[in-house]
Structure 1
């Protein structure tokens, strides 16, 4: 069975991690929720969230926890303590081979590392700035970016990395004026082709529950739900 927490940590790593009691505390360095949230690695007592919250504040971060779909008791504990839910997220996956049956259109997608300035511009337009690009640089395993073009113009980009035979796509972004032309579909397939060449057998990605368009696309491509998680963050008016 795939250890999805390990795949996420390896393909989208925090700047640093430390153990504190039952928690893994992450230093996010401005890279967003996924690299900043604390996670439980052992049973949690009612006093433990406050200790984790203090450690996160010491790092200059808001107290934030990632809750996996099997952690109902922890979820209730944090809810009772005033932590509100944020960004329910679906883990989707399928065999790599399911995405590599169709040939890619010529001059549509190119593997590039490090990313080009045009890719960085597309990511910046979508809110993916230097702190998230630094996450890509930190990945130690097989990794690349895909650069998409439409009408011979820069149009899209994504990042993909592999851990233990599982590829995970991150940061798919299509430039605003090139959307609804099918590029996201082809970039996803191109990422799977690259992953297959690296020996990966499973292809996966993360998508928020609220992103109906992306969920419809990925479901149509055959990426099925294999897990869920969400965040809980402390309301600012509470201690």
Structure 2
């Protein structure tokens, strides 16, 4: 598998849908309010226009938007969806590095620490930053090694993240820094502590998924010598107006 394909699998395992349904040549995800990544359809091979209709019906039966994730090798599907009036939404970059790249970071003692289940303050910060109960439920149902990270700065909770491991690949999600604590090294401290925890729990590589428009986060990951190894984006059709 390519690095991107490995990260697609890691994303599904560490940020799992409530249910994965195989319908025809599709994987249909039931999101249960966990956001678009866990509510999208992906193709398991070449598909036709009729296959797209099948996926649309399956997503509609779940009460979900018609939302397709377009991955490496899905160029033909991408073109078909564009012809059907689907627009691109949220292009995403995939980053990876050897675990040792990040374990070199040396946060001050207790600048950040791992803990599971998350403390109430961690859930509160996530909620304040838009990571609501539905998305927090995604983390709760993930299998395998996982942890939350809480960072402190200026004698207060300053940032949070969630980290899980699948097949020796760690993936960080839901990294959020409290607005008035930004640009003070909080995110870097989180990355360093997360990498140490991941290595201690069997990971040999570290990865993140980042929306391309999030300039600050992309800058952070590239500054830490993480490599952009791929991408995906969504295709969604806006509801017809009466």
TM-score if structure 2 supplies the norm length? 0.96
Q: CA deviation at 1:70?
A: 2.0
Pick one of 69, 72, 79 that aligns with 1:69: 72
SS at match of 1:47: helix
Equivalent in the alignment of 1:178? 181
TM-score for both structures, normalised by structure 1: 0.97
In structure 2, runs of 5+ residues without a counterpart are none
How many residues align structurally?
Answer: 239
Aligned 8 A contact 1:13 1:139 in 2: yes
The alpha carbon displacement at 1:79 in A equals 0.6
Preserved CA contact (<8 Å) 1:82 1:238: no
Cα distance in 1 for partners of 2:31, 2:215 equals: 27
The CA deviation string for residues 6-64 of structure 1, in whole angstroms up to 9 with x for no partner, is 10110000000111111001100111110000001122112111110111111010100
C-alpha distance in 1, partners of 2:11/2:19?
14
Q: Secondary structure at the match of 2:80?
A: helix
What's the offset of the Cα at 1:102?
2.9
- For 1:127, the equivalent position in structure 2 comes to 130
Deviation at 1:238, TM superposition (A): 8.0
* Superposition pairs of residues 4-43 of structure 1, within 5 angstroms: 4-43=7-46
Q: RMSD across aligned C-alpha pairs, in angstroms? A: 1.3
1:155 to 135, 155, 158: 158
> Shift in Å at residue 103 of structure 1?
2.1
Q: After superposition, where does 1:189-208 map in structure 2 within 5 Å?
A: 189-208=192-211
Hey, what's the Cα distance between the residues in 2 that align with 1:50 and 1:156?
A: 43
The answer to whether the aligner puts 1:237 opposite 2:240 as a matched pair is yes
Q: For residue 54 of structure 1, what is the aligned residue in structure 2?
A: 57
Cα contact 1:91–1:207 (8 A) shared by 2: yes
- For structure 1, the 5+ residue unaligned runs are none
Deviations 1:163-213 (A, max 9, x none): 011000000011111111110111011111111111111100000111111
How far off its partner does 1:95 sit? 0.3
